[in-house]
Structure formats: structure tokens, C-alpha cells
Structure 1
Amino acid sequence: MALTVAVAGATGAVGRTIVEQILNENKFSVVALTRRGQIESPVNDVQYVQIDYDDHSTLVQQLERHAVQTVICAIGMLGDDCSQAQISLIKAADEASTSIASLALAPVIPRILFLYLKLTHTGRKRDIDPGIDWFLEAANILKNSNLIYTRPVCGAFMDFLGMPHARSNIAPMNIVVDVLNRQACIPGDGNTPITMIYSYDAATLVAKLLEVDEWSEFSFCNGDDTTISEVLRIVEEICAEVAYSQMNF
């Protein structure tokens, strides 16, 4: 019997990428949890289930009905409502766990995988980053649950450096370096170490976590360790080569 994975936030940029890569591995059945009634450009071979995160009993029933064994939360943390949806999902998965396990041929402890794009610490100022409170609240609820869980930490996505030419579900944006307009705004001296990864590589690593028997509290899906100054140097080098290739001799 194939493992059934539910992906919350499956119609978002990160969630859709994860769904695509899980299907690419061709080992798991995917149920996409979404608050939307109409799905634009749905991924093939995926069952979309409309969810009301304020309806606890129905959310539990949906997880049980589809015999979900692992939940991936890719809900974008854009506000208190998103944080509350995440908390509702944790509580529903925890309550559904006994029923799900009883339906399996062998004892199964449902697992829950929460995607965080950055690792937040209690030492940071919460008035600067409200996501810290959302992170800590979810972490505390997970620790007091019966769920097996891990929190992947992916660093910063590098997709925006190749837009619009790079394959990506993430909306085009300019962060620090605007490649198309040949502009940059470097914070600090640009030499602080950062970790960057391509969204599809991060999603592939998340999909691979489904095959791991034991999870640690954090799973680091790291790509390249670099600095903004080094990123800028590479961008300038590539832009110079492109400009040279387009010159008329």
C-alpha cells in the first residue's frame, strides 16, 4: 500500500513545487489540501480537497478518510490567519493519528513535516519578525503532540536570480539583486554568509525525507553557502558574458 501524503498549501508556490517533486519520485500518493474552491492549472494525478481550517472535526475526518500518513505543511506564513491554519492542522493530525494507525495493516505513527524557509531563534527581536511567534507556537504544540515531526530549513531560494527564464512556481521578484535591470542593493558589507538553494532542489530533498525512517527535529536542505557579494560577482560576470555575446562585430 503506497504511502499517502497530504500537502497543505499545495496551490502555493512552494507547496505546488513539493507536490510536483513528490510525484516525480513516483512512490507516494498525494492529497492536496487547499482552501480554494477553484484550482487553476491543477497538477495531474493529484486529488484536491477543499479544507476549512476553522472546522476542526471536518479536518480530522478528511485526514482519516484519505488515510493520510504524512502531512507536509507548506502554508505560507503571511499573517495570523495562516499561523492559525497551521496550528489547526497540527491538532487535527494529532487527533486523527489513532484512527489512521488503526486502519493500517501495521502500526503507523503519522508524521508531520513543516516547511520553514528560515530558522528563527528566540534571541531575535519579535517586533522585527512576527514569524518568530508563529514558529515558536507551532514548535511548542508539536513538542506536546504524539506526532513524529521534522522542520526542514531550506535557506533562501535562488530562483529570483534567473527569472523569468528559470523554471519556478515562485512569483518573479527582486531581492537584493535585480538581474534584469542591472541593479543591486546590498545590505551591510555583503559578506555575511548565507545559504541559497533552487526551489526544485529543496522540494526534491523534502520528498526524499518521506523515505527516511527517523527524523531529527530539524532537517537542513542546504544548497550553496555563499555571500551576497559573491552572488553579485557571479551575476556581473554572467551579464558581462551575455552582453559580449550580443555585440555586433
Structure 2
Amino acid sequence: MKSQRIAIAGGTGRIGRHIVEGLLEIKHRYSLEIIVLSRSQSPHISYAGTSAPVLPIDYQDLSSIQKILNDFQIDTVISTLSGTTSDPFITSQENLLRAALSVPSIRRFAPSEFSVNSEQVPSVELYQMKIPIIRSLRQVKQERPDFEYSLFSCGVFMNYLGYGNNKPEGHKAHGYMPHFPYIFDLSKRSADIPGDGEKQLVYTRAEDVGKFVAAATQLEAWEEYNEMAGDVLTMNEIVRLCEDVCGTKFDVKYNSREVILARLGPPEKVMENFFAEFLLALMDGECDVKRPINLNGLVDVKPMTVRQYLEQWWG
């Protein structure tokens, strides 16, 4: 059955906000009820002429989670929670699922993926925090065959390619995502590439991720894996696109495994280690397309390609 009453956990920022806006865009068309769960008090989110209430929540308090989901008769929970330490993140998602399963109306749950599928990248430590909830969801599915869950994967956010552009409203290139370059820094006309550049990258604009997920809520059934993409290109192909749009050659550095390994620091350097580990995963093919990119063919969403994005913000 299609989703009708949807709760987005962590929907006030970053990819969660894009998913909320994707849902608000189709809210009236499908008569949806949308609520946003947040650890902090925030104003309602308004978009496309409608809005969604933001409800403060304590993910350590199962009864309070259950009450909110029950009061709104939520049937679908989408988690966009994030964290850099395992215990709070894992516990928050597990509590969200446990509370949801005690609500009679619940029938769908999407855990916080929204990148490369976490099971594909065992070498990326930060993503291993996402594995426990997947195991829990598979166990629930065995016990409740009518329950649905889906792992939404989108690769790397295309928005990082907008860093440093000088358009009048250049900040909009990032959407709600962090402002920094990753692998490609078009402001410096440079690229920092793992290996020989022939490994593929899946790129999806964050705004399009929101549209894809919103459209997926109106599918009659959810597949376990819902893969989406704006583009699938090798890093060398992306370099050539950047050079073509910018009209100049880029300074491209091809890094060996030893060079990237040297970037790994002590455990407290969480994000620095994450970026280095992800480069190693790219080099090792862990981020290659493993399954068909099915969601593009299941919903009517026309995502932006890398060339279109580059032409908008760098052309």
C-alpha cells in the first residue's frame, strides 16, 4: 500500500530537509500527512505552498516516540538521522524502529542510508554504524511479512561540485548540504583522484534525492534496495566534463593507495578518516554499481545530470 501519513526523523537539516521538501511538493496531490521529528524545537517547515510541523523528540524515550507516531497514525517512517559516534546513532535508530513497530498503523520504514549502500563499503568505519538497523529490519520482515523496508542509495551528492562558484546565488548550489569540495574542486580547477580515475561515481543532486524518495512513498510496494542516480560516470569522465564546462585544463592528481593511507589519522579524526576511507573504497571498487539503478525506472523523476549541474553553476 502507498504511504499516506509519513514521519521524517531528522528532517530539519541536510538530506532530511530535502526529503521533507520533496514530500511537501506532492502533499496536496496525494493528500499526505507529513510530520518532522527533531531533537530540538524548530519552526514548521514550509515549501511549495504548504507546511509540515516539526515535533521535538527524545530518541532515548520509546514511549514518547510511540505517542507521537500513534497520535498521527503514521504508516511510514523515514530516518535521516546522522552521527559520528556509534552508540547514540545506533540506539536512536533502533529505538525509532522499536517504537514504530508498537504502533498499529506502521507498515513501512526507511533507515538512514542516502549515500553508497553501507553494506558495500566495509572499509568505511562510519558507515558500519548503519548495519545494525538493517539486520533488525530483516528480522522484522521475517516475523511480519506485510512490513516493508527499503534502503535508499544515491551515491555522492552532486552538490559538492558547486563549491566555490561565483554565481549571484551560488550558495543555492549546495542545497542544504555542507559547503566543501570532495575529489573535485572546481574553484581551484583541480581534482584529487584515488587510483587511476577509472572507477565509477554515482552522483545524485540532493534536491533530486528528495524527489525520488517522495515519489517512492507512492509506490504500491517497496523493494529492499531502491537505487537512484543523476549520473554514473568515471572520475576521469567527470574531469573531462569539468574541463569542458569551465573551458580550461584541470590540475589532476592521481593518488596511490600509500598516499591515501597516509591521510588516515588517530581515531578522534573522525571526518578526516571517513573521507580517506571513502577514497580507498572508491579505489577498491566498493562504490561501483552493484545492482540495477531501479528507482529511476519506477518513478517519474527526471534528475539533473552532472553536465546540467556544471552548466548551471559553472557555465
TM-score calculated relative to the size of structure 1: 0.84
Q: C-alpha separation between the residues in 2 aligned to 1:122 and 1:20?
A: 29
> CA 1:17–1:123 in structure 2 vs 1: closer, same or farther (change >3 Å)?
closer
Aligned counterpart, 1:237? 244
> CA 1:202–1:122 in structure 2 vs 1: closer, same or farther (change >3 Å)?
closer
Q: Which letter does structure 1 place at the counterpart of 2:208?
A: D
Q: C-alpha separation between the residues in 1 aligned to 2:45 and 2:151?
A: 26
Aligned counterpart, 1:18? 19
Q: Determine if contact 2:82/2:112 at 8 Å carries over to the other structure.
A: no
Structure 1 position 131 matched with structure 2 position 132: no
Aligned counterpart, 1:110? 107
Q: Which letter does structure 2 place at the counterpart of 1:78?
A: T
Q: Determine if contact 1:196/1:223 at 8 Å carries over to the other structure.
A: yes
> CA 1:73–1:233 in structure 2 vs 1: closer, same or farther (change >3 Å)?
same
Superposed displacement of residue 10, structure 1: 0.5
Aligned counterpart, 2:82? 76
Q: Which letter does structure 1 place at the counterpart of 2:85?
A: G
Task: Please report the RMSD computed on the Cα atoms of aligned residues, expressed in angstroms.
Answer: 2.0
Superposed displacement of residue 130, structure 1: 3.6
Q: Which letter does structure 1 place at the counterpart of 2:240?
A: R
**Deviations, residues 111-139 of structure 1 (Å, cap 9, x unaligned):** 112241111337834xx42422x222101
Which stretch has the larger CA shift, 162-171 or 55-64?
162-171
Any idea what SS the aligned residue of 1:68 has? coil
Any idea what SS the aligned residue of 1:144 has? helix
Q: C-alpha separation between the residues in 2 aligned to 1:95 and 1:186?
A: 47
Superposed displacement of residue 187, structure 1: 1.0
Aligned counterpart, 1:56? 62
Superposed displacement of residue 79, structure 1: 2.4
Aligned counterpart, 2:33? 29
Any idea what SS the aligned residue of 1:62 has? helix
> Is there any run of 5+ residues in structure 2 with no aligned partner, and where?
249-315
> CA 1:123–1:154 in structure 2 vs 1: closer, same or farther (change >3 Å)?
closer
Percent same amino acid among aligned pairs? 25
Q: C-alpha separation between the residues in 2 aligned to 1:43 and 1:85?
A: 26
Aligned counterpart, 1:208? 215
Q: Which letter does structure 1 place at the counterpart of 2:56?
A: Q
Superposed displacement of residue 200, structure 1: 1.2
Q: Determine if contact 2:79/2:110 at 8 Å carries over to the other structure.
A: yes
Q: Which letter does structure 2 place at the counterpart of 1:154?
A: C
Q: Determine if contact 2:84/2:126 at 8 Å carries over to the other structure.
A: no
Which residues in structure 2 correspond to 1:63-212 (within 5 Å)? 63-80=69-86, 81-96=88-103, 98=104, 100=105, 110-116=107-113, 117-121=115-119, 124-125=122-123, 128-132=124-128, 134-145=129-140, 146=144, 147-163=147-163, 165=170, 166=173, 168-212=175-219
Match of 1:226 among 230, 233, 250: 233
